[in-house]
Structures are given as C-alpha cells and as structure tokens.
Amino acid sequence: MNITIENIILIGSVLLLISIIAGKTSYRFGVPTLLLFLTIGMLAGSDGIGGIYFDNPKIAQFVGVVSLNFILFSGGLDTNWQSVKPVLKEGVALSTLGVLLTAVGLGYFVYLITDFGLYESLLLGAIVSSTDAAAVFSILRGKNLALKKNLRPTLELESGSNDPMAYVLTIAFLSLVQEPDKSILSVLPLFFMQMVIGGIAGFLFGKLSKIIINRIQLDFEGLYPVLTIALMFITFSATDFVGGNGFLAIYICSVYLGNQNLIHKKTIMRMFDGLAWLMQIALFLTLGLLVFPTQIVPFIGIGLMISLFLIFVARPVAVLISLLPFRMKLRRRFYISWVGLRGAVPIVFATYPLLAGIDKADMIFNIVFFVSLTSVLIQGSTLSLVAKWLHVGLPEKAKPLSPTDELLTEHPKAIMKEIAIQEGCPTVGLKIVNLNFPKKAIIAMIERDGNYLTPNGSTELQANDRLVVLTDKPEILEKVYESLSLSGANVAEG
C-alpha cells in the first residue's frame, strides 16, 4: 500500500489508536512502550502485514527533528532546577566527555571488526553515542522509578542535554567521510561554535519567552500552549540559522521556563506532556515504517557484537572515566552506565548519511536500527531489576513526588490559610505570576466583593482580597508572606 493524501489520515489514526491500546498493556509483560511503537511501525511497513511502502529518509528526518523539539522541550519544562543543580557538573561531564568517549571507543571497535574506514567507523560511533531522551524520560517516568542520591535527575539531565553533542559529532564525522583529506582538527571550530551559540541562545530565548508569555494578553487560555510552541520552534530555527545547536538551545530554554512563574503554566505543561507522548509515538511509528526488516537480517551478527560492546564496554568505560572527578559509589556509576538507552535519536541521526549519499549509508542505518532495538529491549526492560540488584532504588512507599508533580496534583494541601490583602499593600495591582510565589504553595481561590474567583497567573491582586492559600508545610507559609510583602498579623485561620 502506498501512502497518499487520501489515506494518510486514516492510516495514521489507526496506527496511533493501535499503539495507545497496545501500550496500555505492554508493561505487564515487561516490554517498553517505545519498543512496541517501533514494532507496530515495522509490522505496518512494506515487509510487514500492513504492506505500507515508505522509503523517504527526508520525511522521516523532518518528523524526527520536529518530534525531538517537543520531546526535549517537554523534558526541560519538567526538569526541576533545584534537583538538577547539585548534579549539574556530573550531568555536563556525561553529556559531553561521556558522549565523546563513547563515540571514539565504539568507533574504534567498529573499525577493528569491520571493513569500515576510520571516519566511517567514528561516524557510526557518533550516531549511537548519546542516550535517548525519549526513551529515558518515558521509561523512568512511565515506571515511576524512584532512585537514590540524585540518580534520576542526573540521568534525565544527561539524556536531555547530550543529543546536541552527538549531533555535532555526527555532522563533523560525516563531513570527514565526505572529505577525507580534511584534518580531524578542522571540525573543532564547528563544535565550539555550535555548543557556545546554542547555550547562549537557549538562555536568551528563555528569558525572552518568559517576557512574551507573561506580558501578552491573549483572550483564550488555550492559546498560551500554542504561543509556547511557536516560541519553541523560533528558538530552534533561529539558533540553527546563526550556526548554533538548536537542540541544545530548546533544552536550555525549556529548563529555564520550567523553573519560572508563567501565566497558565499548568495548562502549558499538561499540553506539552501530551504532545511529547504523541510525538514519541509518531516518531517511532515513522522510523518503524522506514526500516525494511529483511534488510537488517544480514547485519544481525555484526549488529549484535556492536550492541553488546556498546552496552557492556564502551558506555561503562565512558561513564567511569567521565565521573572520575566526582565522589559517587561504584554501584551508582554502574547504574548510570546501564541507563544508556539508545532509541529514536540515533535512528534519526542515521538518516543524515542516507541523505548525504555516502557509500555505506544503508549499512550504517540498518546497524544503528538494530543497536537501538536491542538497547531498548535489553536495557529498557531491566531498569527496575538492575536498580534492585545494585540497591539504588527506593521502596515503593518511599517514592517522593517531584516539586512539579506536587504542583500539578489535584489533591488539596494539608494546610489552608486565608490571607487578607490590605489597602496600601505593595502587592496590590501585581499579577500573581510576578509575586515569586513559592512553588510548593498555591492560591486556590480569591474572595473578592463577596464572590470567589479561581485565579491564574495573570490575575491581579486588589485591595481587600482574601486569598485562600494551600500548602503542605508550615515553613512554606513564611515564604508566602514574604512574596506577598505581608507579616503574620495579616493572616487569618481558614
């Protein structure tokens, strides 16, 4: 079956429905959901029972880039800076030096056991050098896996921030394959330009996006997520246009926004959470359709050797070396190395050699696809088990909620206070979003002129308002008073 304008919506919606229904029960059998989406795409493809012929790497790459924008942005919005800050150095080391060592180590192994040239081998190593944000975010959060000693923020920070490094290495080694006379040192300016411009642009666009979101007056709450999507794509494309790394820019931009007070922040975050899942499904289905399973069979042997070397040698060695300067128990380092999931990102990056038309592009793509498949199957299905073996997981009853989860939960807090805003209070006329209100407290309602209002970030406080504030700890109330420029004398029991 060929995909046409007439049937693409029907085919896509049916595959999406099948994926969601199948994914609901997949974890009962220990199968990662993303692997299931990939399998459904393969079954629907030309070599499967669906017979859908799809062989367009350019479209697949476009779907991949758009999907990664949403996945990285959603992951960044949900990243709590207070949790990430203590492990920032470890995460940066893993996402830069760790990726480089993985690429070089695996590339040299490929060079030894295949007829690939050195640059071709390093290109393959670069393509699979980063952990996949979609796989890590979905599996860790889908399983609600609680880990000891900042392991989870370390893993999420690494997976969210290491794709830019892998992308730069992929583009650099691809250029060396195309122009083998160039020196490997010639790619260093490209690397530094991409990372520096990407980092600066991400921070600047984050600050600009916050100003636009909070100051623009939109008539409908549902338009704020749409506005944020527009800002996300502008951040990516503008950064790429000036020579920076767009993936790094949108991740830094989203981390910044996720830790700021935004108007309709709850609506924005929920929308992006749903869109990230939609994009993960669409991405894995598209890549599943793109691959021809019969073409992978000849590479199963070499693919398995590369995959096992990556999982048990290249990744662990890279992690151990990257974390040498930091104090961390050995079993935690081993667990970080085990959560080196490869998923959709390497497959997307593998389309770049296909579009460039290099000699071994088809071999590289099929090997990368097999490596990603085995990584998600072997590592993704055993994260909980390995955490238990290495004693790095928390008991079910001890699992903590992240500040973001607490903020979004619908359950009421344990402590309720009514706070009166008197005339002459400095906060009169200010929007709630500008109060620097504690993240672990919420203004549930405002009593104004005998009526109860449900506030949002754009609500302005007025004299004689009575705020119904919910929190879970008495000490948080002191921060509430400070943000409102009030003292305890203005507070009445609710």
Residue 492, pLDDT > 70, answer no
| 3-state secondary structure (DSSP) of residue 466 | strand
Residue 255, pLDDT > 70, answer yes
For the chain, the residue count is: 494
Place of tokens 């700021």: 260
Q: Tell me how far apart the alpha carbons of residues 136 and 335 are, in angstroms, rounded to a whole number.
A: 13
Look at residues 3, 40, 1 and name the one whose alpha carbon lies nearest to residue 21.
40
| 3-state secondary structure (DSSP) of residue 360 | coil
- The predicted model gives 389-411 an average pLDDT of 56
Q: Tell me how far apart the alpha carbons of residues 159 and 292 are, in angstroms, rounded to a whole number.
A: 28
Look at residues 157, 177, 167 and name the one whose alpha carbon lies nearest to residue 87.
157
Please state the separation of Cα 284 from the chain's center in Å: 15
Please state which of the ranges 137-146, 174-183, 345-354, 419-428 shows the lowest mean pLDDT: 137-146
| 3-state secondary structure (DSSP) of residue 330 | helix
**pLDDT tier for residue 1 given thresholds of 50, 70 and 90:** low
At 183-209, the pLDDT tens digits run 778 778 888 899 899 999 999 999 999
| 3-state secondary structure (DSSP) of residue 491 | strand
Q: Tell me how far apart the alpha carbons of residues 319 and 325 are, in angstroms, rounded to a whole number.
A: 11
Partner residues linked to 442 by β-bridges: 470
- Cα–Cα distances (Å) from 204 to 210, 235, 256, in that order, read 10, 9, 10
Q: Answer positive or negative: Cα dihedral of 396, 439, 234, 194.
A: negative
H or E stretch covering 322: helix 315-322
How many separate helices (H) and strands (E) can be counted in the chain? 24, 5
Look at residue 239 in the predicted model and tell me its pLDDT.
Answer: 96
Look at residue 494 in the predicted model and tell me its pLDDT.
Answer: 42
| 3-state secondary structure (DSSP) of residue 452 | strand
At 102-148, the pLDDT tens digits run 999 999 999 999 999 999 999 999 999 988 776 676 666 655 566 77
| 3-state secondary structure (DSSP) of residue 263 | coil
- Cα–Cα distances (Å) from 464 to 98, 422, 434, in that order, read 57, 5, 19
Look at residue 409 in the predicted model and tell me its pLDDT.
Answer: 47
Q: Tell me how far apart the alpha carbons of residues 461 and 11 are, in angstroms, rounded to a whole number.
A: 50
**Amino acid identity of 86?**
P
Residue 279, pLDDT > 70, answer yes
**3-state percent helix, strand, coil for the chain, nearest multiple of 5:** 65, 5, 25
Name the more confident of 35 and 81: 81
**Amino acid identity of 215?**
R
Judge whether 394 and 147 are in contact, CB under 8 Å.
Answer: yes
Judge whether 109 and 91 are in contact, CB under 8 Å.
Answer: no
**pLDDT tier for residue 486 given thresholds of 50, 70 and 90:** confident
Look at residue 144 in the predicted model and tell me its pLDDT.
Answer: 57
Place of tokens 């662990």: 316
- The predicted model gives 269-287 an average pLDDT of 87
Look at residue 312 in the predicted model and tell me its pLDDT.
Answer: 95
**pLDDT tier for residue 307 given thresholds of 50, 70 and 90:** very high
| 3-state secondary structure (DSSP) of residue 376 | helix
Please state which of the ranges 12-21, 187-196, 370-379 shows the lowest mean pLDDT: 12-21
**Domains of the chain (ranges, CATH numbers):** 8-398 (1.20.1530.20), 411-493 (3.30.70.1450)
Q: Report if pTM > 0.75.
A: yes
Q: Tell me how far apart the alpha carbons of residues 256 and 371 are, in angstroms, rounded to a whole number.
A: 33
Task: Tell which phi-psi region holds residue 328, choosing left (phi > 0), alpha (psi between -120 and 50) or beta.
Answer: beta
Range among 205-209, 212-216, 292-296, 397-401 rated most confident: 205-209
| 3-state secondary structure (DSSP) of residue 453 | strand
Partner residues linked to 463 by β-bridges: none
Task: Tell which phi-psi region holds residue 416, choosing left (phi > 0), alpha (psi between -120 and 50) or beta.
Answer: beta
- Cα–Cα distances (Å) from 64 to 67, 181, 279, 334, in that order, read 5, 31, 9, 30
Q: Provide the H-helix boundaries in 45-132.
A: 57-77, 81-84, 88-93, 99-113, 118-127
Return all residues near 331 (Cβ < 8 A) that are at least 6 apart.
Answer: 390, 391, 392
